[in-house]
Each structure stands twice: as C-alpha cells, then as structure tokens.
C-alpha cells in the first residue's frame, strides 16, 4: 500500500494539514506523518522514478531513487520524526507546519532528478525554514531571519542562473558537473557553497541558528547544510578545490567555538567544522571518502540535533543561554545531562558512538590518498571539537561554578523522548556500524574498530582531557561578541539601505512640495473656464461657469467607453 510513496510529499501535505488542526489532532499528525515517511522509505524501491510532463516536452522527475538519495532520505525522515516529537509541546501550529515543510522540501531536493524540481524544493526549503527563526518573535530573531532569507535568496539566484545555463544547453537532468569548469559549474557551486556554509559564505548560519525557536533550531541544525553536502556529492564529487575548503571549515569552526559564550552559537560553529569534514571528503572523491561524507552526514544529523536538543532543554528550563550565566545545576536535570553527553561523545569521535565510525572514515581516506597535511589538520580539528563541545560546553553549562540556578519550569516528557531516541541511535550505530555501512552508496569497505585506530583515538582524547583539566580557568566563556564575516555585509548594507531610504524620502518630499506648488498655481485656471474666454468690450459679459451646462451628457461618456471596448475586443479577436 505504501510502496514507492514520495516521503517528502508526505511531509509537505502533513505540514499543510497540521496548521489547521486542533492541538491533539495536530500532535497526532506531527508524529504520524514523519513515522509514515520513515515507513515509506523502507518500502521505497531503488531505481524508482516518478516523472510528470511539463512545458516544452520537458519532464519533471519528482522522485529518482538510488543508493545515495536513499541514505539521505532515510536520515532526513528519521530526523523529521525526532524533531517533531521534541516539538509536541509547542502551541504554535504554524511552527509545526514550517518544520514539516522544511523537512519535506529537503527530501524533495534529495529525490529530484531534474534541475527544475531541484531548484523548486531548494527555494521552498529556504522559504519554510525562515519561519523557524521568526516565530521566536523578538527583534534579534526578526533581524536574523531577514538576513537569513536574503543570503539564501542570493545563493538560490546563483544556483538558478547556473540551472538556466544548463537548461539552455539541453541538459535538463541533474548530473555530475566535476571537470566541466564552465560558467554554470561555478554559479551552481557558489549557490551550493552558501548553503554548505563554506567560509567566507558561512556567517548566515551562526547568525540565524542561535536566534531560532528552541525547537526550530533543532530542525535548522539538521537539514540545510546536509542537503548541501548531498548536492555536493551528487554534483561535485572529486572537485579538488573542496578539499582545502573543507579543511578550512573544520579549523575555522573550531577556532570560533573557542571564542563563543552563547551555547547555541558555539554549537552552530561546530556545524561548520563538522560539515568541513564532509566537504573535504567530497573533494577527495574516492569511494571511501564519499562513503565517509555520506556516513558522517548521517551521524552528524543525529548527534548535532541531540546537542541542540540538550542546549534547548537548558534554555527552556532556565531561560539562560550564556556560559557565563550557567553552571552548577547538573543535579536539577541529570537525565538531560546524560543524554547531552552522548551527543558530545558522538561529535567528538569517542569509540562506541557514531561519530567515531564516520569521521575516522574521512581521515583514513585522506591517509590512503597520501594527504598527510589534510589528515593532520582534520585530526587537530577533531581534538578541538572534543575540547569545546565534549568538555568545555558541558562543563560550564552543567557543572562549573554554582550560580544558584533554579529551574523555571520542568522539561515536558516529549523532549526527553526525542533526546532519548537520538541518543539511542547515536549509540546503536556506534556499536553496530554495519547497520549504516550496509546502505552506503559506494563500493568501499572500512573497519573502524581496528586495535591501532581505537588506541590512537583514545590517546588523543585522554591527552586533550588532561590539557582541558589543566587550563579550565582559561577556557571559560567571556561575555563578548565575536565579529565574523557577516560584519562585511551587515554594516555596509545597513548603511547603504539607510542612505537609499533617506535619498528616496528626501526626493519624494522635494518633488511633492514642488508639485503641490505647481498645482496650486494652475488650479485657478480651471476653477472657472469661462472667465478666461476672450471677450469684447461691446459684447455682454460672459456668465459664470455652470458645469451642468458645459459638460458632456453622461450618455456621450457611456457611448465613448462602449466604442473603445468594442474596438479593443475586435482587435484581440482579429489578432
């Protein structure tokens, strides 16, 4: 019955429905619809294709299933389920709609087989996700949301321009672009790079994600950048430029995380860092590297959403989001602390959790490709992740100095259920990596639990732990704001917009004043037309103007209108 259904369309239609339902029915839809999408994924056959006829004999391929799209489709469907469970307590029905539309459009991109379908869902993804920021309802969220949508509109237009060039060249289907190096290649690469948050095009992420709603940021952390990773694998596998772009991302995110005081902004910088591993793997282009990029995207969605759930739980319970405001209340919410730490172990690549079985695949691919510098730098980024997401953030958030924090409200059960589900999957795939490896799209084998790999990883983690313990006093958060590359468009664009508005307003006022003065000087000539008619001294004085005497009868006006209408209809008919 559910074989070969499009899981993205299931989520989109469910999202539209959720916005109009009362609370209980909406909650049923929020769980039932993503569960149906997960179920449909396991019934979706490889090589399935849905196509519909479009203009100019073109076909839209709404659903094209292969191994790569299936793996991403599965994790996106699972994440839609976990994210909606985490959001069940929300009273805003339209936030549920935005979340489901966002997840559904992400799946639409993954299964798109032609350029037009891909760009449609790509833009729907941006348009729906911005509401997960705006629904927070404060000035910071509104500003961040506007900047978010403007950046994505810019990136989407670059992508669309490249697609137009491909369509004009008679290439309507999505295809590998590596090696073409034409204008379309660079336009599409830039458009995707913005969504992937490749520096210096990354600052929209760390600007917007911390300002989203508590539940909305969980969705935001899971989809946009991973859809971009999927698109990079599909279109740009083996593009060597991406190797160093990914390495820079991995290090850049870690360095800025060191400076952060806001817990969700710190996690946002680690999204950039972790996506850097995937981008570097895409650039390597080998089967092992591409499997590593796919597996790490799968793992990242699980552990990063879990980390954002943990941070969201802290904000929900305490009303605080800064490291300098938190600490010393781990006894108040021990279950949340444990679940958060599972996410922290996962992102840090600790053995027995899923980050270990995917991140190590990418680093090993660099080693097998004889790229020692890349391998070393990715190891350094991994140590930085352990120091700040695995140690610094939980220590100063839950433990650290006791600031006398009392919980303002208890966490609802659905939050614990969603976090528990994410923690379970992080552990399951870490302990049994074959559950993921069997579905990876490329022909490459990898065994993460070799003795030397486990020992070397544990040695690095222990050394970093010792360094953290020694330098704890120097690693605490500082109540400062880190200036990033968004400064270069936020400040000048703000000044430019203010200047344009002031110029337009000044011009409008000037022209309005001049026009009003001209109108006042002309109006007397129309007040009494008879007064200005030529007269002779011998003749009688002309009477005052009487509109009922001098104007056309209304019948003449109707007749003229009818004639114009008939002429127009006749012209259209003849043409």
State in Å, rounded, how far the first CA of the chain is from the last one.
52
DSSP 411: P
Strand ranges inside 140-184, DSSP E: none
Residue 531 has pLDDT above 70, yes or no: no
How would DSSP label each residue in 527-560?
H-GGGGS---SSSPPPPPP-HHHHSPPHHHHHHH
**372-396 mean pLDDT:** 91
pLDDT for the residue 63: 94
pLDDT at 157: 96
The string of pLDDT tens digits covering residues 200-249 is 989 999 999 999 999 999 999 999 999 999 999 999 999 999 999 999 99
Mean pLDDT of 352-378: 94
> Is 50 exceeded by the pLDDT of residue 326?
yes
Residue 519 pLDDT: 81
Q: How confident is the model at residue 54 (pLDDT cuts 50, 70, 90)?
A: confident
Q: Enter the pTM of the model.
A: 0.86
- The stretch 433-458 carries a mean pLDDT of 92
Burial class (CB in 10 A: 0-12, 13-18, 19+), 432: exposed
Mean pLDDT, to the nearest integer, of 301-327?
Answer: 93
- 533: pLDDT strictly greater than 60: no
At 259, is the pLDDT very low, low, confident or very high (cuts 50, 70, 90)?
confident
Burial of 3 (0-12, 13-18, 19+ CB in 10 A): exposed
3-state secondary structure of 213: coil
Mean pLDDT of 388-394: 88
Does residue 1 register a pLDDT over 50?
Answer: no
Across the range 57-83, mean pLDDT stands at 95
Q: Which residue has the higher pLDDT, 557 or 93?
A: 93
Q: How confident is the model at residue 548 (pLDDT cuts 50, 70, 90)?
A: low
Query: 485-522: buried (b, 16+ CB within 10 Å) or exposed (e) per residue?
Result: ebeebbeeeeeeeeeeeeeeeeeeeeeeeeeeeeeeee
Q: What pLDDT digit, counting tens, does each position of 137-167 carry? A: 899 999 999 999 999 999 999 999 999 999 9
* 335 confidence band (pLDDT: 50, 70, 90): very high
Average pLDDT, stretch 271-294? 96
Say if residue 260's pLDDT is above 60: yes
Task: Please choose, from the candidates 317, 296, 268, the residue with its C-alpha nearest in 3D space to the C-alpha of residue 416.
Answer: 317
- 214 DSSP 8-state letter: T
Alpha helices, DSSP H only, in 237-320?
241-259, 263-284, 287-318
pLDDT at 488: 79
When pLDDT is cut at 50, 70 and 90, the band that residue 552 belongs to is: low
- Determine how many CB atoms are found less than 10 A away from the CB of residue 152: 24
Q: Please state the φ and ψ torsions of residue 569, each to the nearest 5 degrees.
A: -60, -40
Question: Of 382, 307, 302, 396, nearest to 344 (Cα)?
Answer: 307
pLDDT digits (tens, 9 = 90+) for 481-517: 778 888 777 778 778 888 999 999 999 999 989 988 8
């Amino acid at each position: 019955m559910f074989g070969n259904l499009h899981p993205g369309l299931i989520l989109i239609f469910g999202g539209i429905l959720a916005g109009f339902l009362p609370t209980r029915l909406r909650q049923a839809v929020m769980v039932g619809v993503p569960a149906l999408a997960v179920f449909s994924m396991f019934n979706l056959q490889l090589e399935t294709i849905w196509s519909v006829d479009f203009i100019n004999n073109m076909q839209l391929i709404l659903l094209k299933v292969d191994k790569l799209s299936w793996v991403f489709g599965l994790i996106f469907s699972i994440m839609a389920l976990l994210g909606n469970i985490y959001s069940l307590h929300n009273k805003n029905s339209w936030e549920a709609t935005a979340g489901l539309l966002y997840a559904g459009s992400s799946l639409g991109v993954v299964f798109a087989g032609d350029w037009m379908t891909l760009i449609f869902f790509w833009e729907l993804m941006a348009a729906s996700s911005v509401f997960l920021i705006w629904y927070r309802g404060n000035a910071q969220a509104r500003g961040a949301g506007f900047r978010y949508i403007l950046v994505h509109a810019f990136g989407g237009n670059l992508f669309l321009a490249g697609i137009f060039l491909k369509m004009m060249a008679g290439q309507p289907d999505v295809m590998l672009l590596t090696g073409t190096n034409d204008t379309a290649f660079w336009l599409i690469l830039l458009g995707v790079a913005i969504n992937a948050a490749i520096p210096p095009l990354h600052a929209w992420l760390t600007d917007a994600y911390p300002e989203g709603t508590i539940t909305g940021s969980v969705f935001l952390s899971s989809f946009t950048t991973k859809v971009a990773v999927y698109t990079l694998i599909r279109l740009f596998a083996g593009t060597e430029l991406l190797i160093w772009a990914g390495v820079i991302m991995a290090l850049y995110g870690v360095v800025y995380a060191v400076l952060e005081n806001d817990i969700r902004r710190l996690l946002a910088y680690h999204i950039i860092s972790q996506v850097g591993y995937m981008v570097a793997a895409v650039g390597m282009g080998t089967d092992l590297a591409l499997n590593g990029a796919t597996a790490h995207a799968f793992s990242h969605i699980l552990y990063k959403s879990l980390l954002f759930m943990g941070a969201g739980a802290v904000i929900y319970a305490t009303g605080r989001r800064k490291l300098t405001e938190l600490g010393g209340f781990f006894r108040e919410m021990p279950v949340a602390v444990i679940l958060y730490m599972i996410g922290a172990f996962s992102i840090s690549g600790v053995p027995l959790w899923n980050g270990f079985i995917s991140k190590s695949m990418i680093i090993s691919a660099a080693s097998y490709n004889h790229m020692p510098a890349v391998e070393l730098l990715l190891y350094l980024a991994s140590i930085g992740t352990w120091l700040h997401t695995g140690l610094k953030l939980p220590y100063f958030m839950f433990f650290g100095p006791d600031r006398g924090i009392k919980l303002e409200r208890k966490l609802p059960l659905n939050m614990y259920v969603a976090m528990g589900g994410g923690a379970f999957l992080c552990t399951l795939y870490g302990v049994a990596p074959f559950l993921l490896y069997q579905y990876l799209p490329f022909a490459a084998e990898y065994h993460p639990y070799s003795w030397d790999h486990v020992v070397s990883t544990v040695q690095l983690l222990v050394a970093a732990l010792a360094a953290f313990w020694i330098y704890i006093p120097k690693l605490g958060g500082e109540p400062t704001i880190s200036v990033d590359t968004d400064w270069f468009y936020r400040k000048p664009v703000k000044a430019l917009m203010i200047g344009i508005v002031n110029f337009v307003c000044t011009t409008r006022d000037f022209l309005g004043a001049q026009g009003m003065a001209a109108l006042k000087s002309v109006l007397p000539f129309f007040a009494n037309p008879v007064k200005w008619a030529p007269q002779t001294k011998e003749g009688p004085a002309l009477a005052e103007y009487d509109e009922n005497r001098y104007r056309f009868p209304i019948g003449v006006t109707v007749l003229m209108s009818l004639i114009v209408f008939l002429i127009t209809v006749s012209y259209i008919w003849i043409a």
